[in-house]
Amino acid sequence: MTERSIHHSTIVIERTYDASPSRVFAAWSTREALLRWGNPGDGWDLAYDHFDFRVGGGDINRFGPRGGPTFRNETTYFDIVPDVRIVSASSMTSERKHIFASLITAEFILAGKGCRLIVTEQGAFLDGHDKRANHEAGWSEMLDKLRIELLRTQVAA
C-alpha cells in the first residue's frame, strides 16, 4: 500500500533576457519552440501528444531520460494575456502514479529593452515520488535553454 503524503512548496525563479516580452512570450506559446527549450533534463526526450495553447485548452507531453522513467505532464491554460502572462495548472504522472500537481504563472515584464521573466510554481508533491530540488534543477535547465532559444531566433530574424 502506498504511504500517502502531500508536500506543498512554492518555487520562484527569475531570469532577465535580452529579448522583448513579446519574443519571450512567443517561445512559451508554440510547440516548436517548447520542444527546443521546454525539457527539464539535459539530453532527455520530449514529445507532445497534444498542444492547444488557448484559455480552456491544454497540452499533454511526455519526457524523461532515454531508457529511463517517462513522465507525463498534462497542462490546462487558465489565463493568457499575450506578451504579459500565462497562468496554467499541471498534473504529472509517472508509471500511472500521480506524483505532482501545480499552478504555474509566467510573467513577462519589460525591463529596459529586455524582458524579466518570473516563473512561480505552486506545487504539491505527492507520496514522496518527486521533490522540490528536481523542479528547481528542471526550471533552471529550461530557462537556461530558453536563453539559447532566444539567441537562435534573434539570429534567424
Sites of contact with its own copies (CB under 8 A): 4, 6, 8, 10, 55, 76, 78-79, 81, 84-85, 87, 89, 91, 98, 101-103, 105, 107, 120, 122-124, 126
Q: How far is CA 129 from the centre of its chain?
A: 19
51 and 31 Cβ atoms separated by less than 8 Å: yes
- Residue 12 CB, shortest distance to its own copies, in Å, is 8
Nearer to its own copies, 36 or 51 (CB): 51
C-alpha cell at position 61: 507531453
Q: What's the length of the chain?
A: 157
Nearer to its own copies, 107 or 141 (CB): 107
User: Three-class SS string for 71-86?
Assistant: EEEEEEEEEEECCCEE
Nearer to its own copies, 35 or 60 (CB): 60
Closest CA to 84 of 105, 109, 62, 60: 109
Nearer to its own copies, 27 or 126 (CB): 126
The span from the CA of 84 to the CA of 106, in Å, is: 8
- Residue 103 CB, shortest distance to its own copies, in Å, is 4
Nearer to its own copies, 111 or 151 (CB): 111
- Residue 37 CB, shortest distance to its own copies, in Å, is 22
Closest CA to 86 of 136, 28, 30, 40: 28
C-alpha cell at position 140: 533552471
